[in-house]
Structure 1
Amino acid sequence: MAPLFPSLETIDSRYRVSHGKTADKSGRFWVHDAVSNVPSLVKEKKSIELFSSEYYWTCAFGGALACGPTHSAVTPLDLVKCRRQVDPTLYKSNMQGWKSIIKNEGFGGIFSGIGATFIGYSFQGAGKYGLYELFKKKYSDLVGEKVAYEYRTYVYLAASASAEFFTDFFLCPWEAIKVRTQTTIPPFASSVFDGYRKITAAEGFGGLYKGLVPLWFRQIPYTMLKFASFERTVEKIYDTLPKPKSEYSTLQQTGVSFLGGYIAGILCATVSHPSDVMVSKINADRQPGETMGAVLKRIYGNIGFVGLWNGLPVRIVMIGTLTAMQWLIYDSFKLYVGLPTTGGH
């Protein structure tokens, strides 16, 4: 079996097609991409050594680019979703919600929480993608090449869970400000820094972390599915195509990333939705001194099992599109700087 994570020199020799013959697909899974066969724009950018510190920081920067702007772009949809999760009777539909918000709060009202969204999910994207690449390499080295290949789905799941666990410490304060701002009418704060000041003044710094546990329950399963399902979906897509991944153009490869990302996003949205509802309600309605167990019991008693799925169709559209765009941006960025794309052969 080929090395799990070979060097760039190995990739070059591995992927070089001799005598006009196409290399076998099955033996090239773990290197993810034929760097030597990518168009010249990418081939000229091989200065970043795979699995070096620069590699992980570059992946982190690509993750921030992928997550911060995309989450910010769907703020109007997220705003209505969060408000309907907290109060299902507030708006009859998304369109009616936007009309009501614009009428009562002005056009800028539909972008309530965008500052906290951009900051929080830029941090989250950087940590999630950068640490995922790091943990994937570390866990693969730990169990060995053969085991890592045979049980690669578990490597993806463990790496993504570990990455999200640590990343949520950076996301949680900004998520608290975002949710509090979006679920109060009129908005709780006029800006992200106004929200930070108000929460810490009233509840101390710990007030920014009161939703950390439900955030873990939402984000960790979401991220595990996001990465593992994306990796395996892209793998299956390339398995069904007539040529190996290395023989497709960068545009075609990023198209596969978009499709795989959308499929992964639908799965992510569905699995993590009940926790998403709880995060919204806990940040909006947890009483001072109330334990996590008590607030979860109280909220569930009020909304029931059905209430945990309120707003799911909207979230599927939002998260499906978000996830697809994030993988498209992330892999396009990796190609631009001369790194192999994620997933597939």
Structure 2
Amino acid sequence: MATEDVVGKSTGETAVTTIVNLAEEAKLAREGVKAPSDAILSVCKSLVAGGVAGGVSRTAVAPLERLKILLQVQNPLNIKYNGTIQGLKYIWRTEGFRGLFKGNGTNCARIIPNSAVKFFSYEQASSGILWLYRNQTGNEDAQLTPVLRLGAGACAGIIAMSATYPMDMVRGRITVQTEKSPYQYRGMFHALGTVYREEGFRALYKGWLPSVIGVIPYVGLNFAVYESLKEWLVLSKPFGLADDQELSVATKLACGAAAGTVGQTVAYPLDVIRRRMQMVGWKDAASVVRGDGRIKGPLEYSGMIDAFRKTVRHEGFGALYKGLVPNSVKVVPSIAIAFVTYEVVKDILGVEMKISE
């Protein structure tokens, strides 16, 4: 009998606890506050949406991405790639269809977590910055300004870049391998292990500083231009582009294209320097011209400023924009596809918060 009383009491307590928990969750839902499990699920969905956006957008423009890197690091006395169309045809002729997508697997392995972290970090950073801005101004209805969006985007870019930089570094080396170069790296993990073993841990972060500096205007402007342009279109409704506070997919793609064009134009020289610094220490990297006009192997750089100075001295200021044309052709659809894919996937997964909120 005592046992039955204990069981009955335990069952009753469990039922009461369950009812209380359900009541608390219902109260949180009414107040607009997510339960811990819902919050975790929302974070996971946001990360998934960001990852899918990155993978889809980069795969769509993988041939142009590879050509851009080849143009950035090629030997100026042995020009193989002198234009977008010619470069793509040369890769197709010498390496076939697979050559156009060489390094894309490694690129996706890097960009999927990078994109996931970047979009999620932007949401969190923009929320935090908006909270501080409202507290400082005393205006509870204040919204993010373009400058504040730039700051949130810069924070997101720095976090995402730092978290996945070693994968970007080895992806660059894998991408520049051609049919005539020794295939030193068999894949991303082999490359990571080889670089760490032969050159040390710090080699995995070669070019990190110009990358981070480049991320500030690049990712910052991407988010700032995209969100500000969307907001302006929704509020002003020019040419009937916005209807009921919602933009069409085509209009969002145009906003993303504009954002990508502005961001990559400002940050491109830093991307060239980053890529060249990543090649330092790799014996199979492309040779370049020394001051006496002879080819003596890859240049060594003591830092970002030194890399800028030597690049301009030996190859001219235009070298800082090598590969800009295929990069421009790549960036416009890539950024546009990434933003729109992110929002579409979040809609499919049922995530309430959008990056503009």
TM over 0.5: yes
Please report how far the alpha carbon of residue 325 of structure 1 lies from its aligned counterpart in structure 2 after TM superposition.
0.3
| CA distance in structure 2 between the partners assigned to 1:216 and 1:68 by the alignment | 21
Identity between Structure 1 and Structure 2 (%): 23
1:336 aligns with 2:348: yes
Paired residue secondary structure (1:190)? coil
Which segments of structure 1 move beyond 4 Å, counting only runs of 4 or more? Answer: 7-11, 46-49, 242-246, 286-290
Please report how far the alpha carbon of residue 290 of structure 1 lies from its aligned counterpart in structure 2 after TM superposition.
4.6
In structure 2, relative to structure 1, the CA distance for the partners of 1:148 and 1:192 (3 Å cut) is farther
Can you give the 5+ residue segments of structure 2 that lack an aligned partner in the other structure?
A: 1-27, 282-297
1:176 aligns with 2:169: yes
In the alignment, which residue of structure 1 is the partner of 2:212?
A: 216
Q: 1:122 aligns with which of 89, 112, 124?
A: 112
Q: 2:266 aligns with which of 259, 271, 285?
A: 271
Q: 1:291 aligns with which of 294, 302, 323?
A: 302
Q: Deviations over 1:110-168 (max 9, x none)?
A: 22211220011111101110011001111111222638836622221121111111211
Q: 2:72 aligns with which of 75, 78, 85?
A: 85
Please report how far the alpha carbon of residue 288 of structure 1 lies from its aligned counterpart in structure 2 after TM superposition.
10
Please report how far the alpha carbon of residue 337 of structure 1 lies from its aligned counterpart in structure 2 after TM superposition.
2.6
| CA distance in structure 1 between the partners assigned to 2:260 and 2:174 by the alignment | 26
| CA distance in structure 2 between the partners assigned to 1:102 and 1:276 by the alignment | 25
| CA distance in structure 2 between the partners assigned to 1:70 and 1:236 by the alignment | 25
Paired residue secondary structure (2:316)? helix
Paired residue secondary structure (1:116)? helix
Q: Is the 8 A contact 1:68 1:120 kept in 2?
A: no
In the alignment, which residue of structure 1 is the partner of 2:252?
A: 257
| CA distance in structure 2 between the partners assigned to 1:264 and 1:8 by the alignment | 36
AA aligned opposite 1:337 = L
AA aligned opposite 1:266 = T
In the alignment, which residue of structure 1 is the partner of 2:89?
A: 99
Paired residue secondary structure (1:189)? coil
Q: Is the 8 A contact 2:150 2:223 kept in 1?
A: yes
| CA distance in structure 2 between the partners assigned to 1:70 and 1:262 by the alignment | 12
Please report how far the alpha carbon of residue 300 of structure 1 lies from its aligned counterpart in structure 2 after TM superposition.
3.2
In the alignment, which residue of structure 2 is the partner of 1:193?
A: 189
In structure 2, relative to structure 1, the CA distance for the partners of 1:8 and 1:90 (3 Å cut) is farther
| CA distance in structure 2 between the partners assigned to 1:9 and 1:268 by the alignment | 41
Please report how far the alpha carbon of residue 255 of structure 1 lies from its aligned counterpart in structure 2 after TM superposition.
3.2
What does 1:1-345 align with in structure 2 at a 5 Å threshold? Answer: 52-87=39-74, 89-144=79-134, 146=139, 149=142, 152-185=145-178, 186=181, 188-241=184-237, 247=244, 252-285=247-280, 290-292=301-303, 293-338=305-350, 339-343=352-356
| CA distance in structure 1 between the partners assigned to 2:330 and 2:140 by the alignment | 36
In the alignment, which residue of structure 1 is the partner of 2:14?
A: none
User: What is the CA RMSD across the aligned residues, in angstroms?
Assistant: 3.1
TM-score, normalised by the number of residues in structure 2: 0.75
| CA distance in structure 2 between the partners assigned to 1:172 and 1:79 by the alignment | 18
Paired residue secondary structure (2:44)? helix
| CA distance in structure 1 between the partners assigned to 2:31 and 2:315 by the alignment | 57
| CA distance in structure 2 between the partners assigned to 1:131 and 1:80 by the alignment | 30
Structure whose alpha-carbon radius of gyration is higher: 2
Please report how far the alpha carbon of residue 188 of structure 1 lies from its aligned counterpart in structure 2 after TM superposition.
4.5
| CA distance in structure 2 between the partners assigned to 1:179 and 1:75 by the alignment | 13
Q: Is the 8 A contact 1:180 1:188 kept in 2?
A: no
Q: Deviations over 1:261-313 (max 9, x none)?
A: 11111111211111111122221246798521433432332233222122222
In structure 2, relative to structure 1, the CA distance for the partners of 1:99 and 1:314 (3 Å cut) is closer
Paired residue secondary structure (2:321)? coil
AA aligned opposite 1:291 = S
In the alignment, which residue of structure 1 is the partner of 2:25?
A: none
In structure 2, relative to structure 1, the CA distance for the partners of 1:289 and 1:271 (3 Å cut) is closer
| CA distance in structure 1 between the partners assigned to 2:35 and 2:328 by the alignment | 36
In structure 2, relative to structure 1, the CA distance for the partners of 1:168 and 1:147 (3 Å cut) is farther
Paired residue secondary structure (2:142)? helix
The more displaced of 87-96 and 107-116 is 87-96
Please report how far the alpha carbon of residue 67 of structure 1 lies from its aligned counterpart in structure 2 after TM superposition.
0.8
Paired residue secondary structure (1:137)? helix
| CA distance in structure 2 between the partners assigned to 1:262 and 1:10 by the alignment | 38
